[in-house]
Each structure stands twice: as structure tokens, then as C-alpha cells.
A and B are shown apart, each in its own frame.
Chain A
Amino acid sequence: MSRDLVPEQPTSGDFRPNLGRRHRIGKIWFVIFQASTVVGIVALTALLVTIVNSAFGYIALESSIHPSTLASVPLEDLPKEELVRILQENVSKGLFRRLEHDQPFEERTKDDVYGLVLERVVEPKVVQQWTLLESVFRRSMVMTEAQEKYPEAELRFESWIDGEFITSPQSGDAMRAGVRTAILGSLWTVGIALLFSFPIGVGAAIYLEEYAADNLVNRIIQVNINNLTGVPSIIYGMLGLAIFVRLLEQLTSGALFGLTDPTTANGRTILSAGLTLGLLILPVIIINAQEAIKAVPGSLRQASYGLGATRWQTVWHHVLPSALSGILTGTILSISRAVGETAPLVVVGASTFITVDPDGPFSKFTTLPIQIFQWTARPQDVFRNIAAGAILVLLTLLLSMNATAVVLRNRFSQRA
């Protein structure tokens, strides 16, 4: 304890000597705040470690027919005709005829035929997988276990998340499934959501802050917008189902524009999903833009009016540029939220199994979080690994969006 600068007077009347106690209380609060931070960091680390743990590791692969018995060189190095021959020799006549009928082997790419050979002839199955921590720290144990339980199996280290994972479409086979379909679905739906809600949201915010008078009607509107931010997202899903999928089916399915086969078209398209997400993030964008506009100092507006500018000129040339960085930050954070939304899109009708990339607003779709959910729901263990890989992809996407938000905010900030 430091020396007292002023000697304590025992009967100074009004002031009690309590400096020691004040310092102690301060220290206790400091420790509490520090502990909270530590708990938060521990939780985040645990989350990250669990996911990364599942995304990499050794696997034991057992094949029905081992590739080395089919050819002396690795299968992927064989010319296409060889692969077709192998396929013909090892599958039933009926299946071969059917494959030929679906798409003649002449027209198929080599990768395509190779995929078929793997799927129908070699049929590799993952019989056991180990986590990253086990694979790195307990390697010998992994190897002996594989040797004992599956002597025929090939043991290799697998990165469940790699370039192929990101660029391959969805598939029923966990080994070859990728997230490309899901990523594209996410990008399309969020893109449409943004296109819809950004102009409307910012416009509404400008109106409410700069033009609307402070009367009862406008106050009611403001309260309602505030409340809408707290509505559970599944309710937006139900709204989207009722309005965009069912009521506006002609529009959202593309039938209105004559773009689809009327017998298979329905409203469960990217357009419906995008509009639903757009409605979901609209209140957040409005509130956030309002805050950014409120933060513009009144002196700036006064200077503008003083020079004989109209209200619109003041808003466009001074208020908006000043509020821009805040608006952009909030919008990007809203996008981050939209990317992660699962329940409303399930209700609106994301496809449970889709391998075709979306090619427009009227396509069927799936998104990253929905894909993750479906994979974790499958009984086979191996799907949990690729779900972990997909989670890492999602986290990277979100992190880069948040980083962009920070960069944009600094770039457009007008505090000189």
C-alpha cells in the first residue's frame, strides 16, 4: 500500500478513510472481467478445436475391388477407353446399358467415367476414421488398430476440406461429396436478399431520419420496425412460404416469364429464399442505417442549408457520404447473419438432395448451413467429417465478410 500523502485525521467528520477498500473492490471487478474474457476465449477455442479435429485425420478405406487388381497403373492415369472397358467388364449388362442410355460414353468426360468406375466398381468405403488429434499424437495406436481390425483396408491421411471439396457438387457418397452446390446456393440467395433489402432499407432510413415529422404515426412505425428485429427467423420462413412460395408462385417459379417446365416448377426457388432472407434482414438494415445517419453531426447539415442547399442535396452530398461507412458495416454484418440462417430456408423449401448447380433465380437450391445440418443428421459417421469441413468453409466465409466490413469502414470513414 502506498504511503498516505495526507495524514488521516481520525475525526475529519465528513469523509471516511476507505481508500484501501475502494482499491480492493476495483481489483475484484478487474479479475471478474478478466475471467469473463478467459471463459469466452476458452469457449471459442473449444469450438474451433472440435471442428478442426473432425475435419482432418486418418481413414481406413476398404474397397470391394481393389484398384490394383484392375490395372497396373493408377486408375486416373488410364485413358478413357480403358476405363469404359473396365466398367463394362465389372458391372451388370443392364446397368451398363442404362448408363449408356442416360448419356453415351462417347460424350462423357474422362473424369465422369473415372467417377463411375470408382462408384460402381471399386466402391471404396470408409470403415473407420480418426480425429486429427488422434492422428497426430497417437499415430502408432491408430496404425495398430487399423492393422488389427481391417487388415485389407488402405490407411491414409485425409483432409476432408481441400480444393476438391469446395469445387465438387453434392453426392450421396461421402468420399466424393463437395460443397460447391451449397456455396453457390448461399451466394445466390444472399445476393438476392441484398439486392432487395439494401436500397429499400437505406431509403426507409433516410426517410425516417431526414424527412418524416415526429408525429404519432411515425413513432408507431419506428416501434414496429424495432420489434421486427427480434422476431424469430422461422416466422419469416413461414411468411416466405405463404407469400413467396404459394401466393406468388407464378412469379417466383419463373412460370410468369415462361422460363420453366410448368409441370415441375414450383415456388421453392432461390428467388423465394432470397426474398425471405431479404425481409429478415430488412429491419436490421433500417435500424443500423438510421443510427449511422443519426451520428452525422447537425453542424454539417446546418452548413449545407446555410449555403442555400435543398434537403435532398444536403442528404445526398453530405449526410449519406458521412454515414456511408457505418451503413456498409451494418449491411455486411446483416449479410453474415443471413448466410447463417437455416430454419426459414428449410421452411421455404431448400432441396434435401440436389446435385445441380443453381443457374438463376428460378432454380432449386440448397445452402451451406442446410447442407451441414443434413450431413450431421445422417447415420454414417463419415458424414460428420465432411460436415466439419463444410463448417470450416462457412466460418471462413463469415470471417472474410467481417474482415471486409472492417476494411470498408476504415476506408470510407470521413473522420479526417
Chain B
Amino acid sequence: MTQETDRTNRHAIAVRGLSVYYDDFCAVKDVDLEIERNRITAIIGPSGCGKSTMLRSFNRMNELVPSARAEGEVLFEGINIYDDDIDPVRLRRRIGMVFQKPNPFPKSIYENVAWGARINGFKGDMDELVFESLTQAALWDEVKDKLDQSGLSLSGGQQQRLCIARTIAVRPDIILMDEPASALDPIATLRIEELMDQLAKNYTIIVVTHNMQQAGRVSDYTAFFSLDETDRAGILIEYGPTKKMFTRPDNQITEDYITGRFG
């Protein structure tokens, strides 16, 4: 990123006219959106409306699928991340991701957290970094005595917090979460939600969820996506502060979805 950073702007990411295609199929069409810094933004909507595609377009993870292409702009620190001279590898360190099914590496807990930092050239005190990351992920107390055990030996909820810890270890600005608690039991889910609240103090969080109550509990802003009737592409129906969206939404479709009339 060669231009000066635009940190005074309270928008962490701005999306302008973004459309994402897989070959000829349009998954997401013409989205305009501004994500607030240090807040939790939820993306909700019925199945297949392009929520995950939208999320993955923030850190160019869509490109791992060969047929994917994007049009429009996604501005991070004032620079369009889809410019030719932007390296997605660099980008993904600044914008991290936590996945739906916990996927820790088949390495020790310590290595899980340390690896990302190490390959990105971290030169400081690794023990300290691991401690900080696991603490911020509310996992330190549970694993401090077994850092050399395999990450896969933890429970589902612990594994997910481990994944959060390793994402934090590379010091991102934004954390993307793709339905992070949908594979977990209710208690573990609650802990993840509490964690999100804590994390928002230092990071910008964007979370995709199909659980509306969760969106209502956890997020400051909500973006509601749905399917366009004519070409089945995902479009942004409404975006605003969560309280307003859930009590007095502007759009009738939003109200129908929130009250459970469809989706």
C-alpha cells in the first residue's frame, strides 16, 4: 500500500458498485456499502443470497475459485483492493478471516498461533505474541498448560477461539467472520459472541450470520441482502444501525424477513 493511510476516516472499508461473478452467474450485484471502523457489522439474509461471497470479496478470498471475478471497487484505506498492483497476500494479513467450521492446523496450539506471524516475518518475542493472542481470544487460561498439544485435541468452541487467536496474531485491522458460531453448541456460541464484543474495541468486525437473533444481540450495524427476483443475484436491500433495522426498517422486504415471514 503506497498511498498514505486514511485513518481519520471512520469508514474501515467502502464498497462502490461491487458485482461478483462466477463465470456468467452473478452472485452479488451492484453493492454500495460503508463499514464503520471498530464496530460490529452483521450481514444477514436468506440462503444463497451471496452473503459469504460478499464477505470473501473483502479479502479477495473469492479468487481462490478460478472462475470468480469482481467488478467495481472495494476501498481499504482509500485504495481499491482490486487494483492490479495490490498483492492479495499482503491484503489478507490486514484483513483476516474466521471460517464457519473451525479449522485449526494439525500442529500444536502454540504453532497454530505462531505460524501466521512467523511467515509474515514477525521478529519480536513469539511467546509474548502467543500469550497476548490467546488471551484476547479468551482461550489462554484453558490451554496455558498444554500449548504443545495438537490444536485438534480441543473442543469445537475452543478450536474456534484458537482460530480467532491465530487470526489476531498477525495483527489485522479487520476480522471477517463467516457464521463463526453456527457449528457450535449454544454455550460455545455465547462465548464467541462475548468475544466479538471484546474484539470490537481493537478491530473492525464483519460477521455473516443466518441467525437473526444473534445479529440483533451482537452487531452495531446490519446489512440485509436478498435475491433479486429477475436474475437471482444477491443485492443489498437495506443497511443501517441494527436497532433501527430491527424496529423500524425502511424497506418492506426487510420487515418481512426480520419478522420471519420468509427466509
Q: Residue A299 at the B interface, CB < 8 A? A: yes
A307 to B66, CA, bound (A): 20
Contact B64 A307, beta carbon cutoff 8 Å:
no
Contact A306 B105, beta carbon cutoff 8 Å:
no
Q: Residue A309 at the B interface, CB < 8 A? A: yes
Q: Residue B209 at the A interface, CB < 8 A? A: no
State the interface size on chain B (CB cutoff 8 A): 29
| A353 surroundings in chain B (CB, below 8 A) | none
A415 to B97, CA, bound (A): 24
Closest CB of chain B to A411's CB: distance in Å? 14
A322 to B107, CA, bound (A): 11
User: Binding site of B, secondary structure by majority: helix, strand, loop or mixed?
Assistant: helix
B82-125 to A contact mask, C-beta < 8 Å, 1/0: 00000001111110110101011110000000011001100000
Residue of B66, B90, B96, B116 with highest tally of chain A CB at under 10 A:
B116
A308 to B171, CA, bound (A): 11
Count of chain A to chain B residue pairs whose CB atoms are closer than 8 Å in the complex: 67
Tell me the B44-85 residues at the A interface (CB within 8 Å).
Answer: 59, 61, 64, 66
A32 to B97, CA, bound (A): 53
Contact B99 A302, beta carbon cutoff 8 Å:
yes
In-complex Cβ contact of B90 among A303, A308, A415, A416 (8 A): A308
Q: A214-B66, A299-B103, A300-B103 are in contact. Are A309 and B61 (CB under 8 A)?
A: no
**Which of A42-50, A87-95, A219-227, A310-318 has 4 or more CB atoms under 8 Å from chain B?**
A310-318
Q: Which residues of B contact A (CB under 8 A)?
A: 59, 61, 64, 66, 89-94, 96-97, 99, 101, 103-106, 115-116, 119-120, 150, 152-153, 163, 166-167, 170
Given contacts A307-B92, A308-B116, list 13 more A-B pairs with CB under 8 A. Answer: A214-B66, A299-B101, A300-B106, A302-B61, A302-B103, A304-B105, A305-B61, A305-B64, A306-B96, A307-B93, A308-B94, A309-B119, A317-B115
16 A-B pairs with C-beta separation under 8 A? A214-B66, A300-B106, A302-B64, A303-B104, A305-B61, A306-B97, A307-B115, A307-B120, A307-B170, A308-B93, A308-B120, A309-B89, A309-B119, A317-B115, A318-B105, A322-B106
User: Which 10 pairs show the lowest CB-CB distances between chains A and B?
Assistant: A308-B93, A416-B152, A307-B116, A306-B97, A299-B103, A414-B106, A308-B92, A416-B150, A303-B103, A313-B119
